[in-house]
Amino acid sequence: MVYDEFLTQLIAKRACRTYFEIGVARGALLSQISAETAIGIDPAFELEVDVTKNKKFLHLNRMTSDQFFAHPGNYSSYEGRIDFAFLDGMHVFEFLLRDFYNTERICHGASLIAIHDCLPLNDAMAEREFSRAVERGEGTPFPWHWTGDVWKIIPILKKYRPDLKIVFVDAQPTGLVFVTNLNPKSDVLRNSYLQIVEEFRSADNDLNAINQLYNSLGMTSTDSVLNEHDHTLYFRI
């Protein structure tokens, strides 16, 4: 199942009241989400659809996620209210790392964070530079696909936040990583940020590293998660 269709169904099953999205772009996913309140962040919206549909309140913030989280006035009214967050911002791991720990801070213990593009299908799309990924992807089955090296968030969370529960779902095209059992009060990632970046920026970002990643994962199918009430087997509610 394609990721946006899967997320739309999962969010409906969880009856999420407040939805948070980083990286809205054209609004394809946001327009499908049903929630009482939705918050979207993007420095360059290119909306092509009606993102207000099926929402009572919609707050769009034209700024980077770093700018959004730099000022408590932007997010203080949402703290402890986010039921579901979707992270699809800048595709380099240090940006995603900041997005994750900043988003966790405004969630509650039973919130669910979904991260996009962390399961690259080859090493070309994992290039840190978009232009390089496009150049190398020409002639492959996945031209123009760019995940960057955000896959590194997986070993980072496993090492520095073993208290989190991480579930890997085979949603097309480049998977979804779900993180639950959140702790909004945790400062581990924030306090270790420079150490983590120094450690993982030098880590390999090649086909062998990606193969090792896949060998370490247990993949869950979209059908399994959506089967009646089975999502409660994987995620806190």
- Can you give the pLDDT at residue 140? 85
**Which backbone phi and psi does 201 adopt, to 5 degrees?**
-70, -25
Beta-strand ranges (E) seen in 164-227 are 165-169, 176-180, 219-220
pLDDT band at 237 (very low <50, low <70, confident <90, very high): confident
Amino acid found at 84: F
Strands 219-220 and 165-169 come out as: parallel
Tokens of 200: 């993982």
In a domain, residue 110? The reply is yes
- Can you give the pLDDT at residue 183? 97
Cα gap 51→205, rounded to integer Å: 36
**What is the per-residue pLDDT across 65-110, written as a single tens digit (0 to 9) for each?**
999 999 999 999 999 999 999 999 999 999 999 999 999 999 999 9
Cα gap 93→99, rounded to integer Å: 10
3-state helix, strand, coil in the chain (%, to 5): 40, 20, 40
Determine the structural domain holding residue 191 and report its residue range.
Answer: 3-231
Cα gap 162→159, rounded to integer Å: 6
In a domain, residue 158? The reply is yes
Specify whether the CB–CB gap between 147 and 115 falls below 8 A. Answer: no
pLDDT band at 63 (very low <50, low <70, confident <90, very high): very high
In a domain, residue 236? The reply is no
In a domain, residue 84? The reply is yes
pTM for this entry: 0.96
- Can you give the pLDDT at residue 228? 86
**What is the per-residue pLDDT across 164-207, written as a single tens digit (0 to 9) for each?**
999 999 999 999 999 999 999 999 999 999 999 999 999 999 99
- Can you give the pLDDT at residue 15? 93
For the chain, what is the mean pLDDT?
Answer: 96
**What is the per-residue pLDDT across 14-29, written as a single tens digit (0 to 9) for each?**
999 999 999 999 999 9
Report the CATH number that the domain containing residue 127 is assigned in CATH. 3.40.50.150
In a domain, residue 29? The reply is yes
Cα-based angle 18, 22, 26 (whole degrees, multiple of 5):
105
Tokens of 174: 């480049």
- Can you give the pLDDT at residue 173? 94
In a domain, residue 167? The reply is yes
Which residues does 202 contact at the CB level (< 8 Å), separation at least 6?
none
Is a pLDDT exceeding 90 seen at residue 143?
no
- Can you give the pLDDT at residue 139? 86
- Can you give the pLDDT at residue 133? 94
Specify whether the CB–CB gap between 58 and 42 falls below 8 A. Answer: no
Is a pLDDT exceeding 90 seen at residue 155?
yes
In a domain, residue 147? The reply is yes
Overall number of domains in the chain: 1
User: Is the pLDDT higher at 146 or at 237?
Assistant: 146
- Can you give the pLDDT at residue 236? 82
